[in-house]
Amino acid sequence: MRLIATGILGLSLLAGGAAQAQDAALRPDQAAYRAIYKELVETNTTLSVGSCTEAAAKMGARLKGAGFADGDITYFADPSKPKEGGIVAHLKGSDPKAGAILLLGHLDVVEARREDWTRDPFTLIEENGYFYGRGTADMKALDAVWVDTLIRLKQGKAAPKRTLKLALTCGEETNEAFNGADWLVKNRPDLIQADFGLNEGGGGRLAPDGRREVMTVLAGEKASQNFLLEVTNPGGHSSRPLPDNAIYRLSEALLKIRGHVFPVKLTDITRQAFAIRAERPDEAGVALKRLLANPADAEAARIASTDPNVNAILHTNCITTRLDAGHASNALPQRATAIVNCRIFPGETWQETRETLMRVIGDSRVSIKALNADKPIAIAPPLDPRVIEPMKAVAAKHFPGVPLIPGMAAGATDGLYFGPVKMAVYGVPGMFGDPDGGFAHGLNERIRVRSVYEGRDYLFDLVKAYAGVK
């Protein structure tokens, strides 16, 4: 998961000491949940040295311990990538005609270097009202909610009417990895087929005064596309410099990309989110109000986009994320490459984005290649009242008076792979996060402790409502 639309709503950091849920104060069911969460965070699932397969096995062991039969649990992996496996578990409903719901989560996390972090990224640390650790926000808190939900329902008195299908997969964060969601859809649709799926990407935001301002259900996402930019050159001895240099040429291209702003696009969904953000009377909020009244107001767009959360969903964005050049310190570079990551607005294609980059760079010596361009593009799920109304009804109990609006993700989720089986996948509301995105993918990733426990309570009741558990 990446930033979502509601990121624009903002939150000032909690005062120290607020919302500190320490172990001792936990209900027994919360302590059980915390143990699952801790195990997931402390199982390294980075692509480089971690193992989703190991995390999947640990979750499988917990399910078995809770009474799931071997036949209810399926492990899967690509033999050539044995550490990138996943797990599917089924909790059979009592009414075969009632259908099924998919609870989807990715186990993998973005790389994290211990030396760059303040705390060990693979230890769950609770401090000042926050859980710190890689994956605490994206998305092991929600993975743990799904596992915990299945265990509680299995052990509960009343069986759900609807079948619940849990799928924990790998490869969401890295294009080159084995994507378990994609694999399941293509190879074992029977395991994941459901009336609809619940996934990451939704959430909720607090107002600067700590009030819960809005909840979002993710219904639409940008497409993430990496481009490899490359310049090659005959090179030579660095004592004999030549005017044409691969590094300089690539650098000039990258600076042109930095200077390019894609055209503003507004959808019904982003308008709703922006309208709430525009209520805040800071510079970006005032500009956003002007922009909503006149989407052609370029100056208003420029000021509004100084809020990174507004900028993230205002248009397509392309940003350089990696750089590699040269082969020796005393040689002219023969090759310079960069990865430019684009977050493409719904309705636009990667081909159009590539053409824009080529035009902006205006240098035929810079080649631009789309990487893994066969990825499907997300189709926004319909706002089906059978899905949305229970979200609202349960929210009225847990978070009374907080509006629930559809959101658009600035990034992509595994929801995009479910087009071929025509399944709508929604990013669930419930966990209220910080406007800074909780540093997901970045340093010192964290999530508010209180948000996790409250979100868990909300989501458990929501799944029970969908599944027909009294």
Contact set with Zn ion (CB under 5 A): 1, 138-139, 200
**C-alpha pair distances (Å), 363 with each of 252, 349, 357:** 10, 22, 10
Residue of minimal CB distance from Zn ion?
Answer: 1
Would you call 412 helix, strand, or coil by DSSP? Answer: coil
Least distance in Å: CB of 199 to Zn ion?
9
Rounded to 5 degrees, what are φ and ψ at 310?
-75, -50
d(CA 376, CA 178): 15
**C-alpha pair distances (Å), 6 with each of 2, 14, 42, 61, 313:** 12, 18, 29, 36, 10
Nearer residue to Zn ion within complex by CB, 84 or 200: 200
Least distance in Å: CB of 66 to Zn ion?
25
Nearer residue to Zn ion within complex by CB, 192 or 278: 192
Residue with the two structure tokens 């080529």:
358
Nearer residue to Zn ion within complex by CB, 94 or 174: 174
Least distance in Å: CB of 411 to Zn ion?
8
Instruction: Check if the beta carbon of residue 115 is closer than 8 Å to that of residue 137.
Output: no
For helices 350-361 and 246-259, the axis angle rounded to 10 degrees is 120
Least distance in Å: CB of 232 to Zn ion?
35
d(CA 15, CA 210): 10
Nearer residue to Zn ion within complex by CB, 129 or 415: 415
Least distance in Å: CB of 264 to Zn ion?
27
Least distance in Å: CB of 301 to Zn ion?
28
Nearer residue to Zn ion within complex by CB, 1 or 288: 1
Would you call 173 helix, strand, or coil by DSSP? Answer: coil
Nearer residue to Zn ion within complex by CB, 141 or 332: 141
Residue 444 CB neighbour total at 10 angstroms? 18
Least distance in Å: CB of 142 to Zn ion?
9
Nearer residue to Zn ion within complex by CB, 199 or 311: 199
118, with CB counted inside 10 A (0-12, 13-18, 19+), is exposed
Instruction: Check if the beta carbon of residue 411 is closer than 8 Å to that of residue 221.
Output: yes
